[in-house]
């Protein structure tokens, strides 16, 4: 009988025949130094500008770009260059865990999140702090924690709760009713001063995923960020990541206008850069010299033309296509677009089948109407729903640009089919 171990071995052997150690179309935001060295392409000017901001004294700015253009990866790439130097004559930055704002969070919970990641970020440097400052931090931690659990890094007791940070690596603090917003901001500013004094460093906080598509209530985001004004004027640097209109939205009320520097706008990679990025991925996963690219140039060009700059989707789709080729034991060679068309349709069909009936109806309507807004009567009729229901469905669907994308026509907001639904519609399979 074949054992589980044999199956695993066979799986690896099959992949080896392709010449790779794993699916070579890697599709995660890059994080590690090795990944940047081997996989990252382009963006030199933007990286230079990122660092120029600190020298020019900018304390708050946005990284803006459309869906999947590479914002998180760019942020990680820049941060990977920032190290706290032993020699403290140069200026240093302490990077907190990145926060993703959640709509349901109260302002206080949001601030506690910020306080929590800030306290955590300083832990590795605690030995450099003056005794009195260690004590102050200890007190701040104690005020915001229930003193009943494991020992914390300053020698006190700190329980662990979970929060909304992107990484989940460390301990956190417990909210208490006594904490007012002013109180928390005040303590944060105090922490900023300590870090400035003892570590000659600034604290760098990033809020990610602020896109309109990801967080519907943008007014709330602005309100939350306005609370952080005091930090921007002290020793903190705040970076906000979202879509291309992020800065203008955040500063529309005026309160934040004067504190924001120019945004770093990430435009889509060029086709050449995309192809180069794919080449680098293949090489990175290859285990022998003469590995065959599983997918030909015409496939890459096609994906690129479909994705409108969203390389997150493009890499993800390539990954899925290869997985299918691999699972279905396709012979080892380079496949062209016409070879893999059925696979593209199959993947897109699965995505479509995963939607509920009302969503499918909307997608079908768009395959003939092409582009429309929820106020479009023809669209409402085709979908058999009211304007407000349609608005709700479209706003949900457009969170996933493979389904529906949001765009502008004559300054009006319109929706149209997303990448995968476009593939289905082109093949008349909807």
User: Can you give the binding site for Mg ion, defined by CB under 5 A?
Assistant: 72
| 260-289 footprint of ligand ATP as x/- string (CB under 6 A) | -----------------x------------
Neighbours of 66 (CB within 10 A): 19
Q: Residue 277 CB, nearest distance to ligand ATP (Å)?
A: 4
Please provide the size of the chain in residues.
430
Confirm or reject binding of residue 343 to ligand ATP (CB under 6 A): no
Residue 41 binding partner per list ligand ATP, Mg ion, none, with a CB distance cut-off of 5 to 8 Å that depends on partner kind: ligand ATP
Tokens standing for residue 148: 């009943």
User: Could you tell me where the beta strands, DSSP code E, fall in 263-332?
Assistant: 264-265
CB 66 within 8 A of CB 309: yes
Residue 69 binding partner per list Mg ion, ligand ATP, none, with a CB distance cut-off of 5 to 8 Å that depends on partner kind: ligand ATP
Cβ proximity to ligand ATP: between 140 and 210 the closer is: 210
Instruction: Specify the stretch interacting with ligand ATP by CB under 6 A; choose among 130-138, 228-236, 310-318, 367-375.
Output: 310-318
Among 19, 65, 374, 422, binds ligand ATP (CB under 6 A): 65
Tokens standing for residue 5: 């171990």
Q: Residue 398 CB, nearest distance to ligand ATP (Å)?
A: 13
Cβ proximity to ligand ATP: between 98 and 152 the closer is: 98
- In Å, how far are 280, 282, 286 from 289, measured between CA atoms? 13, 11, 7
Confirm or reject binding of residue 210 to ligand ATP (CB under 6 A): no
Neighbours of 235 (CB within 10 A): 19
Q: What does the DSSP 8-state code read for residue 333?
A: S
Neighbours of 152 (CB within 10 A): 21
Residues ≥6 apart with Cβ < 8 Å to 214: 242, 399
Confirm or reject binding of residue 159 to ligand ATP (CB under 6 A): no
Neighbours of 325 (CB within 10 A): 21
Cβ proximity to Mg ion: between 69 and 199 the closer is: 69
Q: What totals of helices (H) and strands (E) does the chain contain, helices first?
A: 18, 9
Residue 240 binding partner per list ligand ATP, Mg ion, none, with a CB distance cut-off of 5 to 8 Å that depends on partner kind: none
Residue 19 binding partner per list Mg ion, ligand ATP, none, with a CB distance cut-off of 5 to 8 Å that depends on partner kind: none
Cβ proximity to ligand ATP: between 208 and 251 the closer is: 208
Instruction: Specify the stretch interacting with ligand ATP by CB under 6 A; choose among 40-48, 92-100, 333-341, 390-398.
Output: 40-48
CB 188 within 8 A of CB 136: no
Residue 107 binding partner per list ligand ATP, Mg ion, none, with a CB distance cut-off of 5 to 8 Å that depends on partner kind: none
Confirm or reject binding of residue 406 to ligand ATP (CB under 6 A): no
Task: Return the SS3 of 216.
Answer: coil
What does the alpha-carbon distance between residue 352 and residue 357 come to, in Å, rounded to a whole number?
10
Cβ proximity to ligand ATP: between 22 and 150 the closer is: 22
Cβ proximity to ligand ATP: between 309 and 422 the closer is: 309
Q: Residue 73 CB, nearest distance to Mg ion (Å)?
A: 8
What does the alpha-carbon distance between residue 384 and residue 378 come to, in Å, rounded to a whole number?
10
Tokens standing for residue 353: 């089948």
Q: Which residues pair with 157 in a beta bridge?
A: 151
Q: Which residue has the tokens 């105090």?
A: 190
Interacting residue ranges for ligand ATP, rule: CB under 6 A: 27-30, 39-43, 65, 67-73, 277, 311-312, 315
């Amino acid at each position: 009988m074949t054992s589980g171990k044999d199956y695993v071995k066979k799986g690896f052997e099959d992949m080896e025949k392709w010449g790779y150690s794993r699916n070579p179309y890697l599709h995660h935001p890059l994080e590690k130094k090795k990944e940047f060295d081997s996989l990252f392409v382009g963006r030199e000017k933007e990286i230079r500008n990122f660092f120029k901001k600190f020298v020019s004294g900018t304390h708050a700015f946005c990284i803006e770009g459309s869906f999947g253009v590479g914002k998180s990866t760019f942020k990680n790439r820049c941060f990977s260059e920032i190290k706290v130097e032993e020699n403290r004559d140069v200026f240093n930055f302490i990077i907190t865990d990145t926060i993703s704002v959640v709509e349901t969070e109260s302002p206080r919970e949001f601030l506690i999140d910020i306080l929590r990641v800030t306290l955590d970020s300083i832990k590795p440097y605690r030995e450099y702090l003056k005794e009195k400052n260690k004590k102050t931090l200890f007190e701040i931690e104690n005020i915001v924690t229930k003193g009943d659990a494991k020992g914390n890094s300053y020698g006190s007791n700190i329980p662990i709760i979970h929060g909304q940070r992107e990484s989940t690596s460390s301990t956190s603090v417990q909210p208490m009713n006594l904490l007012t917003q002013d109180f928390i901001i005040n303590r944060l500013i105090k922490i900023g001063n300590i870090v400035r004094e003892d570590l000659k460093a600034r604290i760098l906080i990033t809020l990610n995923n602020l896109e309109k598509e990801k967080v519907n209530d943008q007014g709330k985001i602005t309100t939350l960020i306005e609370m952080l004004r005091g930090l921007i004027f002290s020793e903190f640097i705040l970076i906000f990541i979202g879509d291309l209109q992020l800065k203008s939205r955040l500063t529309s009320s005026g309160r934040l206008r004067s504190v924001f520097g120019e945004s770093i706008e990430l435009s889509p990679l060029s086709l050449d850069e995309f192809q180069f990025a794919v080449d680098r991925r293949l090489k990175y996963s290859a285990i022998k010299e003469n590995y065959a690219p599983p997918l030909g140039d015409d496939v890459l060009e096609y994906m690129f033309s479909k994705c409108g700059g969203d390389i997150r989707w493009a890499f993800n789709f390539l990954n899925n296509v290869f997985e299918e080729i691999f699972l279905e034991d396709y012979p080892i060679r380079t496949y062209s677009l016409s070879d893999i068309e059925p696979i593209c349709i199959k993947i897109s069909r699965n995505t479509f089948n995963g939607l509920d009936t009302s969503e499918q109806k909307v997608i079908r309507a768009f395959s003939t109407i092409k582009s429309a807004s929820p106020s479009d009567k023809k669209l409402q009729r085709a979908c058999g729903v009211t304007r407000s229901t349609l608005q709700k469905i479209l706003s949900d669907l457009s969170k996933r640009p493979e389904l529906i994308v949001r765009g502008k026509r004559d300054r009006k907001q319109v929706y149209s089919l997303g990448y995968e639904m476009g593939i289905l519609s082109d093949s008349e399979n909807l």
